[in-house]
Amino acid sequence: MNLLNRPRRLRTSDSLRKMVRETRISKESLIYPLFAVDGEGIVEEIPSMEGQYRYSVDRLSVIMDRLMEAGVEKILLFGIPAHKDGYGSQAYDENGIIQRAVRYIREYYPSVYVITDVCMCEYTSHGHCGILDGEYVDNDKTLEYLNRIALSHVRAGAHMVAPSDMMDGRIGAMRQALDEAGFETVPVMAYSAKYASAFYGPFREAAGSAPAFGDRKSYQMDYHNRKEALKEVKLDIEEGADIVMVKPALSYLDIIREVADRHDLPVAAYSVSGEYAMIKAAAKAGHIDEEKVMCESAVSIYRAGADILITYYAMELAGCMDQGKIG
């Protein structure tokens, strides 16, 4: 047959396929979510997230050494305090769990880039992401507390802050607070399109952050909505976000693509706990090849337009890059 165009010509060898590959990923774009917990001598596996652990500050070296060996040098830090109250006061305490963990990592692992999650749900007795007025989260009052948290993280040594609360106006308020305190060079990675998702279930167990009543649908996004996500991203960019994020990742690849096409800021995607747990469970049952599905899922997120991937599989993906299985 006389065919002028034969796309298969560029698929005839592994070397050629890699040369013409459209989507490329690297270790530098991976961020590992890390849970620090109050206490001592703690390395505690999270039951719903096989292979993921909570670490007390004195045992952070266990995971940090593994990350360094894998070549993953960016973390997103979450804190689990011993004490919770209605105002999440441990979130902005200079000796809180995040603040101590940041100082430890900065001292003993200076090459690591430390990003901190700025939210209140892990720290409040009611499990909501802000200050309550009755059973409603008071948006504007919450902003004051989020600013306190962000400033305390940066003063402890955080390189970047990542507000995940989904309060209106929090990026602009936080940018102003950081600038006025002399931290104008500290970037803000905004959880811009964060959906009210069932995929967060294992994380809420890991962080002890499930709401004591109701849900978060009055501030996290309705998963039916696409245009709203684009509006939220646009607002965050206008308020000074340096990086925008879509969360979760796999069920929202269309949103990642649209955000990447419309804006020139870096786009992060968070492959959340439920995505990780599903792959783990299916692999354990023998239904899928864990490594291959992990790699394919990660590439799909980058292919959709993500520049940065936050994933519990960061170390495993880095290993696959070293072995030439992905990249």
pLDDT band at 125 (very low <50, low <70, confident <90, very high): confident
Element (H, E) at 226: none
Sign of CA dihedral 234, 306, 153, 274: positive
Q: Are 274 and 199 a contacting pair, CB within 8 Å?
A: yes
Which CATH class name applies to 24-322?
alpha beta
How far apart CA 189 and CA 164 sit, in angstroms, is 9
Q: Tens digit of pLDDT for each residue in 229-268?
A: 999 999 999 999 999 999 999 999 999 999 999 999 999 9
Give the closest residue to 118 by CA, choosing from 153, 84, 142, 94: 153
Q: Does residue 292 have an active-site annotation?
A: no
Q: What is the identity of the amino acid at 56?
A: S
Which residue reads 């592994």 in tokens? 14
pLDDT of 180 reads 98
Burial pattern 26-56, b for ≥16 Cβ within 10 A else e, equals: ebebbbbbbbbbbeeebeeebebbeebbbbb
247, 280, 292, 325: the active-site residue: 247
Bridge partner list, 268: 245, 308
Q: Does residue 194 have an active-site annotation?
A: yes
Q: Is 217 helix (H, G, I), strand (E, B) or coil?
A: coil
pTM over 0.85? The answer is yes
Q: Tens digit of pLDDT for each residue in 56-85?
A: 999 999 999 999 999 999 999 999 999 999
pLDDT band at 129 (very low <50, low <70, confident <90, very high): confident
Bridge partner list, 36: 55, 79
194, 231, 284, 292: the active-site residue: 194
pLDDT of 9 reads 84
Query: For a pLDDT cut of 90, what percent of the chain falls above it?
Result: 81
